[in-house]
Amino acid sequence: MHPIRKQRLYLVLFLVLFSSVAVGLVTYALRGNINLFFSPADVAAGKAPVGQAIRVGGMVVEGSVQRSDDSLAVRFVVTDYEATVPVVYEGILPDLFGEGQGAVASGALDEYGVMQATEVLAKHDENYMPPEVADALEKSGYDHKGKAQ
Amino acid sequence: MIPEIGHYALINALCLAVILAVLPAWGAWRRNTTAMGLAPGLAVGQLVFVAISFACLAAAFLQDDFTVKVVASNSNSLLPPMYKFSALWGNHEGSLLLWALILCLWTTAVALLSPQLPMQVLSRVLSVMGGIAVGFLSFSLFTSNPFERLLPGSPVDGSDLNPLLQDPGLIIHPPLLYMGYVGFSVAFAFAIAALLGGRLDASWARWSRPWTNVAWAFLTLGIMLGSWWAYYELGWGGWWFWDPVENASFMPWLAGTALIHSLAATEKRGLFKSWTVLLAIFAFSLSLLGTFLVRSGVLTSVHAFATDPARGMFILLFLAIVVGGSLILYALRAPAVSSRVSFAWVSRESLLLFNNVVFLVATLTVLFGTLFPLIMDALGQGKYSVGPPYFNAVFVPLMALLAPFMGLGPVSRWKGDTVARWRGELAISAVVAVLCGLTLPLLGEDYNLWVALAALLAAWLVLGLARDAWYRVRGAASLGSGLRRLTPSYCGMLLAHLGFAACVLGVVATSQYNVERDLKMSPGDSETLAGYTFEFLELVPVRGPNFVADEARFRVTKDNELIAMLAPQKRRYLASGSVMTEASIDAGLFRDLFVAMGEPIGSEGAWAIRLHYKPMVRWMWLGAIMMGFGGFATALDKRYRRQRRAATASAQGVLHGA
């Protein structure tokens, strides 16, 4: 074989080998590190798995935020106006977190249907709604103030 | 009146861009010197009109002209003037105008600074850039006009700039980032021009290389500033979130890094030509993809200003034309430009090739992770999110794989080398690097295997560079004359690679040794973290120009010695009513101390407080700055200018001959 061709052949083989390793790495990394979004209605319908990393989001119900007096534990309820999911979280909440605002909690559901959140996201702009939450509300047929559309 | 002038100037710029895209390219094809000669003038004219337009919008912002829609929704009369100006690009319409302005700046720079280029090549390059300008200017005019008025019914005062963007870092972050993003359009234009002309040789690589390096350097600094801003402004103390928008700027950087290395091989050895062209296309396409991801609102992010489907469609269409068109051109012409040069397996070429493979794979994995949620959503598989663990799991091993070969790079020889020589050159470095890996982590709190590995790799890199630099300097009469013998492009490489080593150390040390604590504290409480005692003295209300704040005063001591007074704030901005955390940081070369406030807890004046101890976090940004300046330094190399003088003479000869 022509030496340049031969070199190219080896190159291609090397590339194939290297990218298969990379693809393997990617699938392995993806398996444990992606999580799916569920709306409160999905959770109420039992579609969400218990004990697995998921995200749940909706509007934070007015008057539902309860803070502990002696720790950073906080408890609140998110809703898509069809169903509600209680969330517990320990830590500092983002600046834009507030009652009547959209929020997404990531964590896992425990067997009592309480979301044990490891992270709470509220987006960076008060007019801005996390798209997942906007979609979930659209599905339930309410706007973000809870009025039927 | 002023906004209308701006609007009119923008329309003029679009007309000039259309002419620039068509006429010189036609001239290059028909060998019409008059048409080709128009290109530089058109480029300058386009810049002038876009600059007028930009100045008009800036005037509208500075004069609080709330009849202009973008001003009304992104500025406020209480805003400090500096932020009124930067508010210009703190929104979709304005940032697009900035994009266009920077594109015109690059176009004009190419037009004016390239007397060495043959006229045909120059006109093709400028035409391609004109075509890109047509796309962006019409995007701006037809879907997101920055000069849209709110008449009647304009508000008395504006609804304020997002408080997160009211920060000095954010005044320069977008322009630098765009300089990088848009700068890759020059590399792209050179690649397309070469494909059109069917001529791709070492001189092509020499023309395109300084531009690519400078664009890459800007992008490096832009990304670094973004990371630094996220660190002190978002109040989380994190410096990289693998947020889709960060990825959008990181992917062109990764592809660009591959590109600048393969350009080196193309310039020096005439190798990997078609591959280099493909990378140039790829890097610019990723810049456009980044713009699409950020601007179309398909992703959840700080940067997603607008969610207008028309805009998303426009960029997607533009992206399809650019990527599709250039790939078709590539498929048609690349066989004509491929190289017939061979190289040995043990050589600098194969090390550069390895670099390319690693960076390309890294780009693709980041691309995959970023697009995965979009693909799954489009397929109706549900709303997934891909978190930092995925990116870390894929990216970190790839970079670790890179470092051992990077140490070999500078010492290796072009064309062919021997393992025995490498062994002879680097045996001592290897031993010293292992010793560094074993001992350096002892300086930290506890022995950490990851830090040991990072120290080993960084030392290996630095020692390889030092060995090579010493080898070059040693023959000279004195150290000074020896150092003077090093070319700017060599120094740039040295600086950038040292920067990478600093980055690796900084990232690993701060991730491994970082101590974070979120806790409840009342005035009078104190807490010890990594030997530093944080004492919460008092809580005071303060007032800023456009906000009111609660400020917590902290005294930090170590072994009863005062280290710093820190004063984080919780601000409420008056115009928008939005609340923001202002962290307070005591910065140092070897450690940062970080305090941020959460929310008040209970009724007795207690607050949720976040305390961080972050060792060596600055090394990461210092490393990125070194990489950026290294990139700039390479463009100063004499060989790019020397060749210009020679080429000018011959070009004049050609002109006189014609």
Q: Specify whether B142 is located in the same domain as B219.
A: no
Please write the tens of the pLDDT for every residue from B161-207.
Answer: 878 788 888 888 889 999 999 999 999 999 999 998 887 777 888 88
Q: Which site among A5, A14, A33 would you substitute to test the B interface, given the most B Cβ atoms closer than 10 Å to its Cβ?
A: A33
| Average pLDDT estimate for B481-502 | 90
Q: What is the tally of structural domains in chain B?
A: 4
Tokens of B300: 């959840």
Nearest CA in chain A to B522: A70
Q: Is B640 inside a domain boundary?
A: no
Cα separation, B161 vs B171, in Å, equals: 12
Q: B627 vs B137, B222, B356, B501, CA distance in Å? A: 32, 12, 18, 10
The confidence score (pLDDT) of residue A139 equals 73
For residue B575, the enclosing domain spans: 515-618
| Average pLDDT estimate for B400-428 | 87
The enclosing H or E element of A54 equals strand A54-60
Q: Specify whether B96 is located in the same domain as B207.
A: no
| Local confidence band at B293 (pLDDT 50, 70, 90 cut-offs) | confident
Q: Is B643 inside a domain boundary?
A: no
Residue among B210, B207, B186 at smallest CA distance from B634: B210
> Angle formed by the axes of helices B119-143 and B638-657, to 10°?
100
Question: Please, which residues 142-201 of chain B have a Cβ atom closer than 8 Å to chain A?
Answer: 162, 164
- Cross-chain residue pair A33–B387, CB shorter than 8 Å: yes
Q: B33 vs B109, B409, B544, CA distance in Å? A: 21, 45, 61
Phi first, then psi, for residue B48 (nearest 5°) are: -60, -45
Answer yes or no: are the C-beta atoms of B383 and A19 closer than 8 Å. Answer: no
Q: How far is Cα of residue B156 from the mean position of the Cα atoms in its chain?
A: 38
Say which residue, B80 or B339, is predicted with more confidence.
Answer: B80
Cα separation, B302 vs B91, in Å, equals: 11
SS3 B117: coil
Q: Specify whether B562 is located in the same domain as B506.
A: no
Question: Please, which residues 209-248 of chain B have a Cβ atom closer than 8 Å to chain A?
Answer: 235
Percent of chain B with pLDDT over 90: 48
Q: Quick check: B365 contacting A, CB < 8 Å?
A: yes
Biggest alpha carbon–alpha carbon distance for chain A: 78
Cα separation, A62 vs A59, in Å, equals: 9
pLDDT under 50: residue ranges of chain A? 125-126
Distance from CA of A64 to the nearest CA of B (A): 16
Which residues of B fall within a CB distance of 8 Å from A33?
386-387, 389-390, 393
The domain defined by A36-140 folds into OB fold (Dihydrolipoamide Acetyltransferase, E2P) (2.40.50)
Say which residue, B505 or A22, is predicted with more confidence.
Answer: B505
| Local confidence band at B387 (pLDDT 50, 70, 90 cut-offs) | confident
Q: Specify whether B85 is located in the same domain as B180.
A: no
Answer yes or no: are the C-beta atoms of B216 and B257 closer than 8 Å. Answer: yes
Cα separation, B90 vs B362, in Å, equals: 30
Of A25, A34, A72, Cβ closest to residue B386: A34
Q: Quick check: B85 contacting A, CB < 8 Å?
A: no
Give me the sign of the Cα torsion angle B150, B156, B160, B161: positive
Q: Which of B337-351, B421-435, B495-509 has the highest mean predicted lDDT (pLDDT)? A: B495-509
- Cross-chain residue pair A28–B164, CB shorter than 8 Å: no
The confidence score (pLDDT) of residue B296 equals 65
pLDDT, chain B, mean: 87
Which residues of A fall within a CB distance of 8 Å from B361?
18-19, 22
| Average pLDDT estimate for B465-482 | 83
The confidence score (pLDDT) of residue B575 equals 80
Q: Is B644 inside a domain boundary?
A: no
- Cross-chain residue pair A96–B578, CB shorter than 8 Å: yes
Question: Please, which residues 301-320 of chain B have a Cβ atom closer than 8 Å to chain A?
Answer: 302, 304
pLDDT for B650 beyond 60 = no
The confidence score (pLDDT) of residue B24 equals 93
Which residues of B fall within a CB distance of 8 Å from A125?
162
Q: Specify whether B454 is located in the same domain as B547.
A: no
Q: Quick check: B386 contacting A, CB < 8 Å?
A: yes
Which residue is listed with tokens 């790939």?
Answer: B327
B567: how many CB neighbours lie within 10 A of its CB? 15
Q: Specify whether B283 is located in the same domain as B184.
A: yes
Of A29, A67, A132, Cβ closest to residue B390: A29
Show Cβ contacts of residue B200 under 8 Å, excluding neighbours closer than 6 positions.
B194, B273, B274, B277, B337
The confidence score (pLDDT) of residue B279 equals 94
The confidence score (pLDDT) of residue B629 equals 96
Q: Specify whether B403 is located in the same domain as B482.
A: no
- Cross-chain residue pair B518–A19, CB shorter than 8 Å: no
Q: Is B43 inside a domain boundary?
A: yes
Q: Specify whether B108 is located in the same domain as B196.
A: no
Percent of chain B with pLDDT over 70: 94
Which residues of B fall within a CB distance of 8 Å from A35?
384-385, 387
Q: Specify whether B136 is located in the same domain as B206.
A: no
Please write the tens of the pLDDT for every residue from B144-153.
Answer: 899 998 887 7
| Average pLDDT estimate for B485-513 | 92
Alpha helices in B144-200 (DSSP H): 168-197
Query: Where is average pLDDT lowest: B85-89, B251-255, B298-302?
Result: B298-302
Q: Is B370 inside a domain boundary?
A: yes
Answer yes or no: are the C-beta atoms of A93 and B570 closer than 8 Å. Answer: no
pLDDT for B259 beyond 70 = yes
Q: Which of B122-136, B278-292, B332-346 has the highest mean predicted lDDT (pLDDT)? A: B122-136
- Cross-chain residue pair B390–A34, CB shorter than 8 Å: yes
ipTM greater than 0.95, yes or no? Answer: no
The confidence score (pLDDT) of residue B300 equals 53
Q: Is B649 inside a domain boundary?
A: no
| Local confidence band at B302 (pLDDT 50, 70, 90 cut-offs) | very low
Q: Specify whether B499 is located in the same domain as B609.
A: no
- Cross-chain residue pair A34–B608, CB shorter than 8 Å: no
* E strand residue ranges, B382-438: 384-386
Distance from CA of A93 to the nearest CA of B (A): 7
Q: Is B637 inside a domain boundary?
A: no
Strand order in the sheet with B584-586: B515-521, B606-615, B591-601, B584-586
Distance from CA of A55 to the nearest CA of B (A): 9
Q: Specify whether B188 is located in the same domain as B104.
A: no
Q: Is B591 inside a domain boundary?
A: yes
Cross-strand pairs, B548: B543, B572
| Local confidence band at B45 (pLDDT 50, 70, 90 cut-offs) | very high
Q: Specify whether B388 is located in the same domain as B423.
A: no
Task: Give the end of a domain, one of B382, B409, B436.
Answer: B409
Biggest alpha carbon–alpha carbon distance for chain B: 89
The confidence score (pLDDT) of residue A126 equals 46
pLDDT for B8 beyond 90 = yes
pLDDT for B654 beyond 60 = no
Which residues of A fall within a CB distance of 8 Å from B343?
7
The confidence score (pLDDT) of residue A140 equals 72
Angle at B541 between CA B540 and CA B542, to 5 degrees: 115
Residue among B239, B237, B235 at smallest CA distance from B570: B235
The string of DSSP letters for B266-285 reads: HHHH--SHHHHHHHHHHHHH
Say which residue, B98 or B160, is predicted with more confidence.
Answer: B98
Which residues of B fall within a CB distance of 8 Å from A55?
383, 385
Say which residue, B480 or B584, is predicted with more confidence.
Answer: B584
- Cross-chain residue pair B384–A132, CB shorter than 8 Å: no
Distance from CA of A101 to the nearest CA of B (A): 13
Task: Give the end of a domain, one of B409, B436, B469.
Answer: B409
* E strand residue ranges, B270-407: 384-386
- Cβ pairs bridging A and B (under 8 Å): 103
Which residues of B fall within a CB distance of 8 Å from A14?
357
Cα separation, A121 vs A136, in Å, equals: 16
